Structure 1
Amino acid sequence: MVGATIDGLERIHRETVAGRVYRDLRNLIMAGQVSPGEGLTIRTLATTLGTSMMPVRDAIARLAAERALEVLPNRTVRVPLMSRSRFEELRTIRLMVEGHAVEAGVRRMTPDGLDRLREIHDAFKAEHDLSDPDAGALIRLNKDFHFHVYAAAGMPSLLQIIEGLWLQIGPVLNFDLRSRSRRMTERAALGYHEELVRAALRGDAAAARAALVGDITSAGDFILECGALLTEPFPNMDG
């Protein structure tokens, strides 16, 4: 009886570690903390996360099934490359799905939620306006800003769909927020975020959606123009 209890606790522990590793890697990819084509090693990830290689292998298998990572024939793990056609497809879907989420989120956002939205925006603005902003911090805050609004919609299934889209698109955001681009110099992302905050404070769901559309479209146009995407799909991307 005691052995059965101990075995049960051990299984829960392993599942908890595996779940944490999966969530940590998933959030890393969604937040654009890795770049398309970047290689990852199981040993390095295990060391960084302070765990064994088994839960890392399990997490990589799950993320590969979600097309967030790919395992090449030589068993190298890397962040998938992105083609122009696939990027444009994902952007079109994002505009529809995230547009709906932001409208619903603004309609249902509480006063505390509005305060938190302003806090995230203020942190993004403070980092953005530094002479040498931390690109990693900008990318994380950008994700936090968007998902705070989406989560306010109170639609877990919708949020899960958006997370799946960001798993695929997140690394490509590096080309925007990690670049000393005209879009950064002109404060485009910051401007659209400010418009969205003002719309949320007014409870104007349509204006919030317009700001989001402007943000996604502007970032997408820059990424398409920067020449970093493949003109043809990468052979391993679709299995």
Structure 2
Amino acid sequence: MATRASPDLPALELVARETMASRVYTQLREAIMTGRFAPGQLLSLRSVAEAVGSSTMPVRAALTRLQAEGALIDGPGRALMVPPMTLELLEELRDVRVALEGAVAKRAASRMTRSHLASLQEIFDEMDAHVEAGDVAAYLRSNFRFHSAIYAHGASDITQATIQNLWMRIGPFLNLVAPDIPHMRRSMAAHRHIVEALWRGDGEGARAGIEEDIGDAAADLQERLQSATSDEASDEASDEESDDGGGNLAQA
């Protein structure tokens, strides 16, 4: 290992720029943001270590960091879990994302060169092909790349980190709506509006496209959450009726 001397310090070994823990963290973080983990999915030290081919020590550091950022919560046993979603949180995330990501897209419209836009167009075309092929996983990865390519030109590193933290909360739930081909096609219509506005240098048009994209996804997810809540309430009511019926028979 190479060493470097300093006038004020003893010779120290050079530290690798990217440690195993940071590589595991980066991989898990991107997987969460692109919907590869489902809501409620459990992550144990052992399972993640086996998946990435690492010892448990760097995995523990990565999971602890993700938990501190709110991307994971305590689950049963000693496992961590991808957190569930509530209607209230969904509405809050929608409103914050529309305001922040819309503003960033508007700013990017005046900063993206034709070369940047050509690269964005390629990602858009890839997304469109994934939709028609029904490849949900590839679509979600390209969707993240699409938005990231825009935000890289409209936001500082600090703002981009904030956006990514929001995506860590919403990413797993995109998995719930993306398998719906009509939903993906509606999303692509919004993406097309964004691309066309950026080619025109139309910041307000880009902002409106972001609002359309985020709003449509939130509406679809809201419908699914409300349906799931209704189903759970119906199941609980049925269970209570069965229990009451059993009690009446026993008394008779």
- TM-score tier by shorter-chain length is 0.7 to 0.9
Name the counterpart of 2:83. 80
Gaps of 5+ in 2: 6-10, 230-252
CA contact (8 A) 2:127 2:142 kept: yes
Q: Identify which range, 117-126 or 39-48, moves more after superposition.
A: 39-48
The 2-side partners of 1:112 and 1:72 are apart by: 46
The alignment of Structure 1 onto Structure 2 pairs a total of residues equal to 224
CA contact (8 A) 2:45 2:79 kept: no
1:196 pairs, out of 190, 194, 197, with 194
Cα deviation digits, residues 9-49 of structure 1 (max 9, x gap): 5xx34961111111111111111111110112222211221
Name the counterpart of 1:237. none
Q: Is structure 2 residue 166 aligned with structure 1 residue 165?
A: yes
Name the counterpart of 1:213. 211
Give the counterpart letter for 2:87 in structure 1.
R
Gaps of 5+ in 1: 232-239
Give the C-alpha shift of residue 179 in structure 1: 3.2
User: Which stretches of structure 1, 4 residues or more, deviate above 4 A after TM superposition?
Assistant: 2-7, 228-231
Q: Is structure 2 residue 115 aligned with structure 1 residue 120?
A: no
Give the C-alpha shift of residue 213 in structure 1: 0.5
Identity within the alignment, % = 38
Larger RCO, structure (CA 8 Å, separation 6 or more): 1
Q: Identify which range, 222-231 or 23-32, moves more after superposition.
A: 222-231
CA contact (8 A) 1:81 1:230 kept: no
Give the counterpart letter for 1:128 in structure 2.
V
1:8 pairs, out of 4, 7, 13, with 13
The 1-side partners of 2:53 and 2:82 are apart by: 21
Q: In structure 2, do the counterparts of structure 1 residues 14 and 208 end up closer, same or farther at CA, with 3 Å as the change threshold?
A: closer
SS in structure 2 of the partner of residue 108 of structure 1 = coil
Q: Identify which range, 37-46 or 99-108, moves more after superposition.
A: 37-46
The 2-side partners of 1:161 and 1:63 are apart by: 14
Cα deviation digits, residues 152-204 of structure 1 (max 9, x gap): 11421111110111111111111111335x423xx101111111111111100
2:114 pairs, out of 111, 115, 131, with 111
SS in structure 2 of the partner of residue 45 of structure 1 = helix
SS in structure 1 of the partner of residue 77 of structure 2 = coil
Q: Is structure 2 residue 24 aligned with structure 1 residue 26?
A: no
Give the C-alpha shift of residue 8 in structure 1: 3.0
The 1-side partners of 2:113 and 2:130 are apart by: 26
Name the counterpart of 2:179. 178
CA contact (8 A) 2:45 2:56 kept: yes
Name the counterpart of 2:242. none
Q: Is structure 2 residue 35 aligned with structure 1 residue 35?
A: no
Give the counterpart letter for 1:141 in structure 2.
S
The 1-side partners of 2:205 and 2:36 are apart by: 30
The 2-side partners of 1:3 and 1:201 are apart by: 50
Name the counterpart of 2:135. 134
Give the C-alpha shift of residue 4 in structure 1: 10
Q: In structure 2, do the counterparts of structure 1 residues 15 and 190 end up closer, same or farther at CA, with 3 Å as the change threshold?
A: closer
The 2-side partners of 1:201 and 1:85 are apart by: 36
Give the counterpart letter for 2:187 in structure 1.
A
Q: Is structure 2 residue 157 aligned with structure 1 residue 156?
A: yes
CA contact (8 A) 2:104 2:155 kept: no
